[in-house]
């Protein structure tokens, strides 16, 4: 018998329809995966079940939970349900906890709000719950504050709060999106274990088909506020009906056509040698010796002309610092960076000749552009680095040309950035990088923020450009699956060091370093043919 049945759920906010005719079912001990790209309404569905929709929302339909219609329940009744019968975990572990309360208090609050237990009993349950989410209280005493924990640990605390009273249903809204792959794998297995041991139902919401495929028993695919396809995981993967699901699957496993190895000229473009970057740490006491934190630790590697090199590592491994150093934006304490024979040194004026050989595309398609500048002006900005800066007309022409090359219209140069979607913005960012015909483009998580379908398009574009313009890429990403499909050579970074380097295929098939191995193991992979799960 199903625990939760959603029937004909409709939600509108301020008169605007957000969800239409949603039908979902989930039973105890099973995992329902809701997958969809941004804006598909998957989170809103979760909020609707919790009755935590924003002000001004209207809800209709039925949400039958243990045969009670939550859609018709009073707010008081909902308060009884939330936290006790249905728990919820959110995407952002960094902000989901009250920074002023200890984690113990916050977990205990769930207990005390629903039952009249004493302080000691609440503490006992808290400690027990901490153990259940694998945060041993010996290591993570309940007196800790959220800021003393890492993102993964915080997310465990959030889960602990949600499951402290062993609810029948847990809703997890993108619980691992903000986390590193290894952490993600650990959390997903934790959730699965909890479902098994507590016979709990879990609704797992994710944009990542691979995550859903590896975790969920049943899948609902959402798009534009509608469930386009649903069924058991096995069924969905083996007998896909809806074209959207098909395209989603295709995009997730998209492999851009790699460059033939023969195109490479065996000529070093970027040479990084023994690079060191130290940060000074604040002193704990006045007379303490000055301590340093080594963000980049004796890093050496070479990128050849036209080569496509990947750099992977989890957050905090030093890859951003390394990027900034290569771009000449970061002072270094040792080693050298040479681009096409010329030294790159921060703070001193880098020569224009050197500048024009290197460009960068950042992750956030929203923060990469000055909102007050027209697209044309933004794209033309790197021309500043040219010695013989073209005149206005020539600049305009160059901008139009390059916009067309990345698949936009010449007329788009007059528009402003807010008129474009995330994918289009990333195209514009690439156009900006291309305009001075650099030899090296650093792609700093350039496709991480994009939906899978858009990501596939951008990757294709990048490959095509590399082929025609003889551009080398330094492709930085935390997402190993993308790196695997896109790069030729791979650098694995951990704690400021390059721990493994080699041909991408070789590294993936025969990783040498245990860290690389654990990274690869953690990556959820979309199965091409879905085998029956045991």
Q: Would you count residue 269 as binding other proteins (CB under 8 A)?
A: no
> DSSP readout, 102-146?
-HHHHHHHHHHHHS---HHHHHHHHHHHHHHTT--TTTS-TT--G
| Element housing 162 (H / E) | helix 151-163
Q: Is 495 helix (H, G, I), strand (E, B) or coil?
A: coil
Closest to other proteins by CB, 387 or 534: 387
Q: Would you count residue 382 as binding other proteins (CB under 8 A)?
A: yes
| Element housing 43 (H / E) | helix 42-50
- Partner residues linked to 527 by β-bridges: none
Q: Would you count residue 82 as binding other proteins (CB under 8 A)?
A: yes
Identify residues 429-488 at the interface with other proteins (CB under 8 A): 432
95 — alpha (psi -120 to 50), left (phi > 0) or beta? alpha
Identified binder of other proteins from the candidate list 26, 161, 461, 462, rule CB under 8 A: 161
Q: Is 203 helix (H, G, I), strand (E, B) or coil?
A: strand
CB of 413 to other proteins, least distance (A): 16
Phi, psi of 108 (to 5 degrees): -60, -30
| CA-closest candidate to residue 428, choices 452, 444, 412 | 412
How many residues in the shown chain lie near other proteins by CB under 8 A? 72
Cα–Cα dist 324/383, whole Å: 20
Cβ(319)–Cβ(313) below 8 Å = yes
Phi, psi of 240 (to 5 degrees): -65, 130
Identify residues 485-524 at the interface with other proteins (CB under 8 A): none
Cβ(296)–Cβ(277) below 8 Å = yes
Q: Return the range that interacts with other proteins (CB under 8 A); candidates 58-66, 382-390, 497-505, 521-529.
A: 382-390
Q: Return the range that interacts with other proteins (CB under 8 A); candidates 97-105, 219-227, 245-253, 259-267.
A: 97-105
CB of 444 to other proteins, least distance (A): 9
Q: Would you count residue 116 as binding other proteins (CB under 8 A)?
A: no
Binding mask 40-79 for other proteins (x = CB under 8 A): ----------x-x----------------------xx--x
Q: Return the range that interacts with other proteins (CB under 8 A); candidates 101-109, 129-137, 388-396, 456-464.
A: 101-109
Measured between its terminal Cα atoms, the distance across the chain in Å is 21
Q: Return the range that interacts with other proteins (CB under 8 A); candidates 4-12, 174-182, 280-288, 491-499.
A: 280-288
CB of 423 to other proteins, least distance (A): 17
CB of 65 to other proteins, least distance (A): 14
Identify residues 248-267 at the interface with other proteins (CB under 8 A): none
| CA-closest candidate to residue 520, choices 500, 496, 497 | 500
| Distance of alpha carbon 310 from the chain centroid | 17
Identified binder of other proteins from the candidate list 28, 101, 131, 497, rule CB under 8 A: 101
Binding mask 397-436 for other proteins (x = CB under 8 A): -----------------------------------x----
CB of 352 to other proteins, least distance (A): 6
Closest to other proteins by CB, 231 or 316: 316
Cβ(332)–Cβ(275) below 8 Å = yes
Identify residues 351-380 at the interface with other proteins (CB under 8 A): 352, 355, 358-360, 362-364, 367-373, 378
Closest to other proteins by CB, 114 or 242: 114
Identify residues 310-329 at the interface with other proteins (CB under 8 A): 316, 320-321, 324, 327-329
Closest to other proteins by CB, 71 or 317: 317
DSSP state of 54: P
Cβ(183)–Cβ(176) below 8 Å = yes
CB of 14 to other proteins, least distance (A): 10
| Distance of alpha carbon 113 from the chain centroid | 34
Cα–Cα dist 479/250, whole Å: 17
CB of 449 to other proteins, least distance (A): 11
Binding mask 130-159 for other proteins (x = CB under 8 A): ---------------x-x----------x-
Cβ(157)–Cβ(149) below 8 Å = yes
């Amino acid at each position: 018998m199903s625990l939760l049945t959603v029937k004909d759920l409709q939600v509108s906010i301020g008169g605007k329809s957000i969800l239409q005719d949603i039908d979902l079912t989930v039973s105890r001990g099973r995992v329902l995966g809701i997958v969809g790209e941004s804006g598909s309404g998957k989170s809103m569905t979760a909020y609707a079940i919790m009755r935590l929709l924003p002000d001004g929302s209207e809800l209709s339909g039925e949400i039958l939970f243990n045969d009670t219609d939550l859609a018709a329940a009073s707010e008081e009744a909902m308060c009884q349900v939330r936290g006790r019968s249905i728990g919820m975990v959110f995407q952002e572990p960094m902000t989901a906890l009250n920074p002023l309360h200890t984690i113990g208090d916050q977990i205990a609050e769930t207990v005390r709000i629903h039952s009249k237990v004493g302080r000691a009993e609440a503490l006992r349950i808290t400690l027990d719950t901490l153990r259940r989410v694998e945060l041993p209280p010996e290591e993570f005493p309940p007196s800790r504050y959220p800021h003393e924990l890492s993102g993964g640990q915080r997310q465990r605390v959030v889960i602990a709060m949600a499951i402290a009273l062993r609810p029948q249903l847990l809703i997890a809204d993108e619980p691992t999106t903000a986390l590193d792959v290894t952490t993600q794998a650990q959390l997903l297995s934790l959730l699965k274990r909890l479902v098994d041991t507590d016979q709990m139902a879990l609704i797992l919401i994710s944009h990542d088909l691979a995550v859903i495929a590896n975790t969920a028993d049943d899948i609902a695919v959402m798009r534009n506020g509608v469930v386009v396809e649903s069924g058991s995981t096995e069924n969905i993967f083996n007998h896909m009906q809806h074209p959207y699901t098909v395209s989603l699957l295709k995009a997730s496993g998209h492999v851009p056509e790699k460059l033939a190895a023969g195109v490479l000229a065996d000529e070093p473009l970027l040479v990084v040698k023994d690079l060191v970057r130290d940060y000074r740490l604040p002193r704990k006491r006045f007379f303490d010796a000055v301590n340093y934190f080594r963000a980049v630790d004796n890093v050496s590697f070479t990128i050849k002309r036209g080569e496509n090199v990947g750099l992977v590592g989890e957050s905090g491994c030093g890859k951003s610092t390394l990027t900034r150093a290569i771009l000449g934006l970061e002072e270094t304490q040792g080693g050298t960076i040479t681009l096409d024979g010329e030294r790159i040194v921060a703070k001193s004026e880098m020569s224009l000749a050197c500048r024009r050989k290197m460009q960068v595309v950042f992750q956030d398609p929203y923060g990469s552009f000055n909102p007050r500048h027209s697209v044309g002006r933004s794209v033309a900005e790197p021309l500043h680095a040219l010695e013989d800066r073209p005149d206005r007309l020539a600049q305009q022409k160059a901008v139009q040309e390059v916009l067309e090359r990345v698949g936009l219209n010449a007329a788009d140069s007059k528009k402003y950035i807010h008129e474009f979607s995330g994918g289009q913005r990333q195209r514009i960012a690439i156009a900006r990088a291309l305009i001075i015909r650099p030899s090296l483009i650093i792609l700093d998580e350039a496709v991480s923020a994009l939906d899978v379908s858009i990501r596939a398009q951008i990757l294709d574009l990048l490959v095509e450009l590399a082929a025609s313009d003889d551009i080398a890429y330094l492709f930085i990403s935390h997402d190993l699956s993308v790196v695997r499909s896109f790069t030729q050579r791979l650098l694995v970074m951990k704690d400021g060091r390059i721990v493994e380097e080699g041909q991408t295929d070789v590294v993936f098939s025969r990783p040498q370093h245990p860290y690389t191995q654990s990274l690869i193991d953690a990556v959820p992979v979309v199965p091409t043919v879905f085998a029956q799960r045991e």
